[in-house]
Amino acid sequence: MPGRPAPRKDGDKEARVDMNKVEGVEVEPTDYADVADVSFGEFSEKVSQVCAQLAMVEKVDQVAWSLFIEPNGAIPDVVAFARMASRENTETYKAYSILKMAAQYISLKNLLSISDQILKKDRNFKVEVSQLLNNVNNSNRELQPDSKQLIPLGKVLDHAACALVRIEALRTYTTFSGSHEEGYTKESVTVYYEAALRTVTDQVERDILHLTRAAADADSGVLIQRFETAKFVEEIK
């Protein structure tokens, strides 16, 4: 089993909703994002699959790509993006599906036998992603866990998982506002998507996950305010 990531550098604990205090929230089986078990024998194939798919995200949805690059970044139109991410057969949903697949292979980083500590701390992540995807997608060789070209892979998988957190949170808010109005609260929605993604987020680097969750909470404020406004307008008609 992979080890749990190190605690946040600031020493604080993760201030999230108490998962045991919100009752009646049951996650649909299809909404769970279970981490895939990957053997060393499958390493090259799965890394190639993940990188080939991630290279498509930028082409199909620029907002989803920007969340992958900067998981705590702002979304220009939260409501519109949440709506498109919740509709199958949209380009946004396609990007979401790719990020979810990549996040489910987050265990690949535990097979790497080369440390990411030698990465330059001030290096632009977008450059790291570009180089990794180009190197892997243009390689005809078997990829090895000790290959220096794969050093950014762990960070890339963390970013994919965090982008998934942002989008899954928005999708959950959208679903609850339409079919679970009686339980539509920040707490119930957070419990739902956190439970659905727990096996993935358990393996994500804690500092970037903390920033991502804070951004997801900010998104929630926008969507809940919109829901309450619409409900108020409906009541006074």
Percentage with pLDDT > 70 across the chain:
79
Token digits for 57?
């995200």
Backbone angles phi, psi at 14, to 5 degrees: -80, 115
Which pLDDT score is estimated for 225? 79
Which pLDDT score is estimated for 116? 66
Angle formed by the axes of helices 62-69 and 91-104, to 10°?
A: 30
Which pLDDT score is estimated for 221? 84
pLDDT tens digits, residue range 105-152?
A: 999 999 999 876 666 566 789 999 999 999 999 999 999 999 999 999
Which pLDDT score is estimated for 65? 98
Q: Which residues of the chain have pLDDT under 50?
A: 1-3, 8, 15, 231-235
- Whole-model pTM: value is 0.87
Which pLDDT score is estimated for 20? 57
Q: Which burial class, exposed, middle or buried, applies to 28 when counting CB atoms under 10 A from its CB (0-12, 13-18, 19+)?
A: exposed
